[in-house]
């Protein structure tokens, strides 16, 4: 079982300039000169890599189409990207939507509020998606992780054929989703980079010594033991007289199941003919538990008084306790410790990864998210709760015999079929309905070195 990923809390220090206007202007110029501003025509900058407004608009439109495709009653061709600040086109489009029977049409102000809420959600999803893309690309380049065109094309074709056996369905998906094949290839490339990045992070964390295995075994020996179990036949009655009658009938040779049917008030065991298998010590009411584990196999016992009534029982089978030896448990422990070591490495990477890239991510006014150094803190963005996942990056590796570690907070390829895809989903690189989710793999971002616009 993989441990939960630990996400660091980050504090963004804001500096208020309380100096003369001339000094404030000089400081502002200094900041701009250091490259911390967002150039005109861009929505964000990660280090020296810009995220262009044109590229943002491309993915925002695709996300809007994705979202609309999942809404019942949405007329074909009536997908309008919310247009702040007045939302004129969005309001007009919503006014054309059919109303439920008997419903009054919403006012323009109500529709504007809906458009604003929709835009905010799509904007944040798209920004987090594109920023995550830049983070992943830069980290992959820094670590020497690459994805060749041949690797990407091969993975893409496998996924496309699985999701869209018929070419016409794939073409329909492209038309309805607002995506191009180049977009999907970008997505798959990021997935390939993600796998390679995670593999590199954990590659030196797979060695577990015999001393470590023995130490774990000695400290957790009970985990490799099976306690004694006893199979029973039981009759439970509400009063001692009925219990005595049941006991007498069994002694006279009446079949246990027939006595159970006649006298027992325990519906669970009664439905099984009185059989109660696999009882371990300490799981029954104290008096009954003591009697069970003091009885000899095959010997009729009772009545035993308990808070539930009176038991008459017989132990039909005793399975002795077992203990796995160190040799028997070695591979299980080796895989467990290997998985734990890899998960720790990934958790440590995530903490450092998000801090490093958030610190050098600046977003333009109106486009800030918790991934921006000038945006809300990740904790504040989660309503005061520490985010369940951090930055985005690599999907789990597939270890042998272990539960794979997970990089919650490193970009992972989301599953799920995009709107318009046939049952079974789109290629794993495709963005799920509603656009790329916050913190998801930056699918669709250009590969390193590609232009930042469509």
Q: 90 and 82 in contact (C-beta within 8 Å)?
A: yes
What is residue 413's predicted lDDT score, i.e. its pLDDT?
33
What is residue 74's predicted lDDT score, i.e. its pLDDT?
61
Instruction: Please work out, in degrees rounded to the nearest 5, the angle formed at the alpha carbon of residue 238 by the alpha carbons of 232 and 240.
Output: 85
Q: Is residue 360 part of a domain?
A: yes
Q: 37 and 31 in contact (C-beta within 8 Å)?
A: yes
> E-strand spans in 309-434?
309-319, 322-323, 361-363
Q: Is residue 431 part of a domain?
A: yes
Q: 115 and 420 in contact (C-beta within 8 Å)?
A: no
Residue 258 and residue 157 share a domain: no
Q: CB neighbours of 12 closer than 8 A, spacing ≥ 6?
A: 373, 374, 377
pLDDT tens, 347-396?
999 899 999 999 999 999 999 999 999 999 887 665 543 333 333 332 22
Distance CA 139, CA 349 (A): 11
What is residue 254's predicted lDDT score, i.e. its pLDDT?
94
Q: Is residue 150 part of a domain?
A: yes
What is residue 36's predicted lDDT score, i.e. its pLDDT?
57
Distances (CA, A) of 16 to 10, 11, 359: 19, 16, 18
Residue 253 and residue 164 share a domain: no
pLDDT tens, 72-83?
656 555 688 999
Residue 203 and residue 255 share a domain: no
Residue 281 and residue 179 share a domain: no
Q: Is residue 220 part of a domain?
A: no
Residue 174 and residue 94 share a domain: yes
Structural domain boundaries enclosing 297: 228-320
Looking at the structure of the chain, the number of domains it has is 2
What is residue 151's predicted lDDT score, i.e. its pLDDT?
95
Identify the H or E element spanning 233: strand 229-237
Residue 45 and residue 139 share a domain: yes
Residue 72 and residue 158 share a domain: yes
Phi and psi at residue 91, to the nearest 5°: -65, -45
Supply the CATH number for residue 303's domain: 3.10.50.40
Residue 310 and residue 348 share a domain: no
Across the 454 residues of the chain, what is the mean pLDDT of every consecutive 10-residue run?
34 29 37 62 95 95 84 66 94 89 92 95 94 94 94 95 94 87 93 92 89 96 94 95 95 94 92 94 94 95 94 96 95 94 92 94 95 87 42 30 45 32 30 32 34 38
Q: 278 and 231 in contact (C-beta within 8 Å)?
A: yes
The string of DSSP letters for 32-69 reads HHTT-SPPTTEEEEETTEEEEHHHHHHHHHHHHHHHHH
What is residue 10's predicted lDDT score, i.e. its pLDDT?
28
Q: Is residue 16 part of a domain?
A: no
Q: 372 and 131 in contact (C-beta within 8 Å)?
A: yes
Question: Of 270, 287, 320, which residue constitutes the final position of a domain?
Answer: 320
Q: Is residue 332 part of a domain?
A: no
What is residue 175's predicted lDDT score, i.e. its pLDDT?
86
Distance CA 440, CA 428 (A): 12
The rounded radius of gyration (Å) of the Cα atoms in the chain is 32
Q: Is residue 329 part of a domain?
A: no
Residue 136 and residue 59 share a domain: yes
What is residue 387's predicted lDDT score, i.e. its pLDDT?
34
Residue 363 and residue 314 share a domain: no
Residue 155 and residue 49 share a domain: yes
Question: Of 288, 320, 352, which residue constitutes the final position of a domain?
Answer: 320
Question: Of 320, 355, 372, which residue constitutes the final position of a domain?
Answer: 320
Residue 160 and residue 93 share a domain: yes
Q: Is residue 213 part of a domain?
A: no
What is residue 20's predicted lDDT score, i.e. its pLDDT?
33
Q: 84 and 452 in contact (C-beta within 8 Å)?
A: no
């Amino acid at each position: 079982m993989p441990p939960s990923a630990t996400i660091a809390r980050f504090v963004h220090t804001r500096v208020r300039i309380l100096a003369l206007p001339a000094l404030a202007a000089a400081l502002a110029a200094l900041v701009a000169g250091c490259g911390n501003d967002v150039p005109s025509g861009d929505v964000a900058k990660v280090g020296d890599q810009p995220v262009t407004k044109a590229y943002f608009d491309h993915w925002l439109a695709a996300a809007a189409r994705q979202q609309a495709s999942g809404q019942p009653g949405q007329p074909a061709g009536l997908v309008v990207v919310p247009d702040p600040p007045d939302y004129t086109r969005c309001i007009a489009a919503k006014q054309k939507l059919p109303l439920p029977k008997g419903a009054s049409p919403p006012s323009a102000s109500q529709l504007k509020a809906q458009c604003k809420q929709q835009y905010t959600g799509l904007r944040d999803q798209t920004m987090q998606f594109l920023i995550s893309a830049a983070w992943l690309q830069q980290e992959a380049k820094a670590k020497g992780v690459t994805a060749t065109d041949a690797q990407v094309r091969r993975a893409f074709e496998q996924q496309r054929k699985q999701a869209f056996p018929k070419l016409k369905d794939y073409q329909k998906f492209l038309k309805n989703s607002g995506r191009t094949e180049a977009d999907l290839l970008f997505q798959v490339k990021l997935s390939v980079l993600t796998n390679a990045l995670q593999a590199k992070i954990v590659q030196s964390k797979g060695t577990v010594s015999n001393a470590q295995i023995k130490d774990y075994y000695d400290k957790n020996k009970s985990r490799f033991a099976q306690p004694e179990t006893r199979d029973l036949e039981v009759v439970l009655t509400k009063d001692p007289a009925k219990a005595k009658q049941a006991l007498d009938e069994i002694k006279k040779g009446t079949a246990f199941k027939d006595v159970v049917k006649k006298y027992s008030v325990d519906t669970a065991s009664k439905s099984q003919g009185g059989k109660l298998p696999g009882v371990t010590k300490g799981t029954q009411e104290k008096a009954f538990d003591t009697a069970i584990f003091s009885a000899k196999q095959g010997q009729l016992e009772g009545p035993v008084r308990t808070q539930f009534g009176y038991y008459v029982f017989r132990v039909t089978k005793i399975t002795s306790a077992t203990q796995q030896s160190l040799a028997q448990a070695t591979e299980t422990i080796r895989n467990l410790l290997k998985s734990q070591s890899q998960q720790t490495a990934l958790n440590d990477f995530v903490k450092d990864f998000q801090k490093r890239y958030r610190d050098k991510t600046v977003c333009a006014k109106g486009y800030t998210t918790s991934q921006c150094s000038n945006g809300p803190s990740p904790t504040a963005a989660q309503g005061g709760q520490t985010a369940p996942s951090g930055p985005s990056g690599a999907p789990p590796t597939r270890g042998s015999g272990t539960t794979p570690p997970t990089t919650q907070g490193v970009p992972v390829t989301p599953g799920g079929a995009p709107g318009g895809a046939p049952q079974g989903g789109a290629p794993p690189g495709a963005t799920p309905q509603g656009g790329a989710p916050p913190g998801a793999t930056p699918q669709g971002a250009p590969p390193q070195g590609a232009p930042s616009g469509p």
